[in-house]
Amino acid sequence: MPTPHEAEKQHTGPEEADRPPPMSSHDVVPPAAPSRNPCCLCWCCCCSCSWNQERRRAWQASQESKLQPLPSCDACTPPSPEEVQSWAQSFDKLMHSPAGRSVFRAFLRTEYSEENMLFWLACEELKAEANQHVVDEKARLIYEDYVSILSPKEVSLDSRVREGINRKMQEPSAHTFDDAQLQIYTLMHRDSYPRFLSSPAYRTLLLRGSPQSSSEA
């Protein structure tokens, strides 16, 4: 017959039975994994953490010595009458002319679509960059400024091109935005360029170079 002490050991209540066994001094709880803010490790630069701020400052420092702003009409060499007339021959001739790009950009600003030209110019500067670190930083800022749906300067790109950019941004290169640049170039060509040719700004430039205006002067 068990002693009262042994009977007490054999009988345990439901609460005691469900209670986990006590930890021994040899049991070690593994440390919790440090929490990471995935935003600060992504490529979209969507947060304002110190990591992104430092990378942005590094890129901006490189820009001060590498990039020049787009010259305005006053800074460009005044286009000849023949050059102004050639802008109506093809969109390529307009875009290859510094004065033509400046005039066309001013026109886009009146239509609230200047971001198309800014994006195209940013892509041109990216393709001319050979320093991989600068390429990486500039690609991230181009994405943030013109591709991100959170940007007020977002350009119009279809889903196929956006998906391609998202894949390429894992390892940015100087040609990450080639497809997007072509799509925006085509959009400006088909949509904005015809209206530019019939705009008062372009017609005024044509009249300035016409033989009649020269004789009146």
Q: Name the one residue in this structure whose structure tokens are 């994006």.
A: 119
77 contacts 71 by C-beta, under 8 angstroms = no
65 contacts 164 by C-beta, under 8 angstroms = no
| Residues 172-185: tens digit of each pLDDT | 999 999 999 999 99
- Put simply, whether the predicted model's pTM sits higher than 0.75 gets the answer no
Residue 21 — pLDDT band, cuts 50, 70, 90?
Answer: low
Q: What token pair was written down for 179?
A: 């497809």
Rounded-to-integer distance, Cα 47 and Cα 37, Å: 10
| Residues 69-95: tens digit of each pLDDT | 444 444 567 899 999 999 999 999 999
pLDDT higher than 70, residue 1: no
